[in-house]
Amino acid sequence: MRESTGGTRERIQAVALELFTEQGYERTSLREIAERLNVTKAALYYHFKSKDEIVNSLVEDRVRRIDELIAWARSQPPTRATRRALLNMYADMMFASEQPSVMRFFEQNQTVLKSLSAGMQMRERMLGLADQLCQGDKSPAAQLRATLTLFAVHSSWFAVRAPHITDQERKRIALEVADELLAGIGEPEADPAQD
* Mean pLDDT calculated for residue range 167-176: 92
**Based on the domain organization, do 85 and 155 belong to the same domain?**
yes
Report yes or no on 110 lying in a domain. yes
68 and 144 in a single domain? The answer is yes
- Calculate the alpha carbon distances from 71 to 111, 128, 171 in Å: 29, 10, 24
pLDDT at 1: 42
Distance CA 178, CA 88 (A): 10
- Integer Cα distance of 152 and 51 in angstroms: 29
140 pLDDT band, cuts 50/70/90, is very high
194 found inside a domain: no
Q: Is residue 192 a part of any domain in this protein?
A: no
Domain that holds residue 156: 52-187
If asked whether residues 11 and 96 sit together in one domain, one would say: no
- Whether the predicted model's global pTM rises above the 0.85 cut: no
List the CATH number of the domain containing 34: 1.10.10.60
Q: How many residues does the chain have?
A: 195
Say yes or no to pLDDT of 191 above 60: no
Q: Mean pLDDT, to the nearest integer, of 84-96?
A: 91
- Which pLDDT belongs to residue 22? 86
User: Which stretches within 75-166 are classed as H helix?
Assistant: 80-94, 99-108, 110-115, 117-133, 140-154, 156-159
One domain for residues 35 and 61: no
Q: What is the pLDDT of residue 6?
A: 55
The whole-angstrom separation of Cα 195 and Cα 193 is 6
The pLDDT of residue 144 is above 90: yes
What total of structural domains would you count in the chain?
A: 2
Same domain, 66 and 42: no
Name the range with the highest mean pLDDT among 13-22, 152-161, 177-186: 177-186
Give the tens place of pLDDT for each residue, 19-48. 988 888 889 999 999 999 999 899 899 999
Write the DSSP assignment of 30-44 as a string of letters: HHHHHHHHTS-HHHH
Residue 62 forms part of a structural domain: yes
Predicted confidence at residue 127, as pLDDT, reads 94
Tell me: do 93 and 63 sit in the same domain: yes
For residues 12 and 84, state if they share a domain: no
Averaged pLDDT score across all residues of the chain? 86
pLDDT at 128 over 90: yes
| Range ranked top by mean pLDDT from 102-106, 113-117, 134-138 | 134-138
- Is the pLDDT score of 188 beyond 70? no
